[in-house]
Amino acid sequence: MVLDEVERRRGISAALVYPFMRSLMESPFPAPGKTIKVKTFLPGAGNEVLELRRPMDSRLEHVDFECLFTCLSVRQLIRIFASLLLERRVIFVADKLSTLSSCSHAVVALLYPFSWQHTFIPVLPASMIDIVCCPTPFLVGLLSSSLPKLKELPVEEALMVNLGSDRFIRQMDDEDTLLPRKLQAALEQALERKNELISQDSDSDSDDECNTLNGLVSEVFIRFFVETVGHYSLFLTQSEKGDRAFQREAFRKSVASKSIRRFLEVFMESQMFAGFIQDRELRKCRAKGLFEQRVEQYLEELPDTEQSGMNKFLRGLGNKMKFLHKKN
């Protein structure tokens, strides 16, 4: 938003940029989730007071999930998400550089609290297109002008996505079977209802962060990970020397759902999962990020065994977002 305001002023006169930046620099840096007011002046508009809000979760500060829903249907987005979770090769194709960049960064943000560990090139230059022949996982973006060349290359199994038409150019045909069935259905239902849920929440007294598309989408995918791996901390044991170790098999076998156990068998072999667990094993103190906050809430819910599948997912999401209480 700050850059938008700078550009707005620069479009009128470059002399208007400095006073705005000076006012901004004199304002206190907001804490996560807090808002600051900046007084400014624009010819023709007079004095203005801008409210600038810092996101509660800084990882979303430069992410815009709107681009994903502009280019992709919910079902296609979930298929791409599943492919990335299992560290497959994914290629985005679009007419504009901005579309490739925005969608690539947004889809990687969906993986939080995990991090993409492999090749990530949001905009791959045409001169480097041979990279798509690499046998290791990657997420790359290509301009549509490179599509004819792409189709000629001996690309190994990969998911190729046309962001302009919401269609798969090439796929593995198993994308709908990669995630636990009930959780996939819950993901789809929550995302299909995103506008309704945001509207409901904006009428409540919940945190403003939940009133945005970014806030909603983030919570939906975090809930998926809470449901699948939220119990990980229960299986981090500590030795007398203070070293932490993760009990892998006990962690997987503790899950009651067969479909989630099958998913974990594959997901636990990924570098994303390995990096996540290694980070937790090496930490001297417990992490306090958004995911860990949701995990604490989830562990408090564990004794309630009556909920399952989609209802449990949506209710767990609703406990935080406060917009499902009217219908659940």
List the one residue out of 164, 109, 157, 110 whose CA is nearest residue 142.
164
Selected residue with higher pLDDT from 105 and 195: 105
CB 198 within 8 A of CB 213: yes
pLDDT band at 321 (very low <50, low <70, confident <90, very high): very low
Cα three-residue angle 64-213-183, rounded to 5 degrees: 105
Selected residue with higher pLDDT from 61 and 256: 256
Q: Output the pLDDT for position 283.
A: 78
Distance CA 175, CA 81 (A): 9
Q: Return all residues near 301 (Cβ < 8 A) that are at least 6 apart.
A: 316, 319
Distance CA 103, CA 94 (A): 10
The string of pLDDT tens digits covering residues 111-129 is: 999 999 999 999 999 999 9
The string of pLDDT tens digits covering residues 144-165 is: 999 999 999 999 899 999 999 9
Q: Output the pLDDT for position 32.
A: 67
Given a cut of 70, whether residue 175 has pLDDT beyond it is: yes
Arithmetic mean of pLDDT, 70-99: 97
A 10 A CB-CB count for 18 gives: 10
Question: Which residue reads 């892998």 in tokens?
Answer: 248
The string of pLDDT tens digits covering residues 178-237 is: 999 999 999 999 999 988 887 765 555 445 555 688 889 999 999 999 999 999 999 999
pLDDT averaged over every residue in the chain: 86
CB 157 within 8 A of CB 48: no
CB 194 within 8 A of CB 214: no
Distance CA 63, CA 104 (A): 10
Question: Which residue reads 């497959």 in tokens?
Answer: 88
- The rounded percent of the chain whose pLDDT value lies above 70 is 84
Indicate if the alpha-carbon torsion angle 133, 274, 262, 300 is positive or negative. Answer: negative
* Helix, strand, or coil (residue 41): strand
Task: Please report, for residues 35, 75, 324, the alpha-carbon distance to residue 8 in angstroms, rounded to integers and kept in the order given.
Answer: 21, 37, 38
DSSP letters for 210-258: GGSHHHHHHHHHHHHHHHHHTTGGGGEEE-TTS-EEE-HHHHHHT---H
Of the ranges 12-16, 95-99, 182-186, 223-227, which one carries the lowest mean pLDDT score? Answer: 12-16
Selected residue with higher pLDDT from 20 and 266: 266
Distance CA 287, CA 308 (A): 28
pTM: 0.79
Given a cut of 80, whether residue 107 has pLDDT beyond it is: yes
pLDDT band at 326 (very low <50, low <70, confident <90, very high): very low
Which ranges constitute the DSSP H helices of 254-308? 258-267, 271-282, 290-301
List the one residue out of 159, 158, 124 whose CA is nearest residue 144.
124
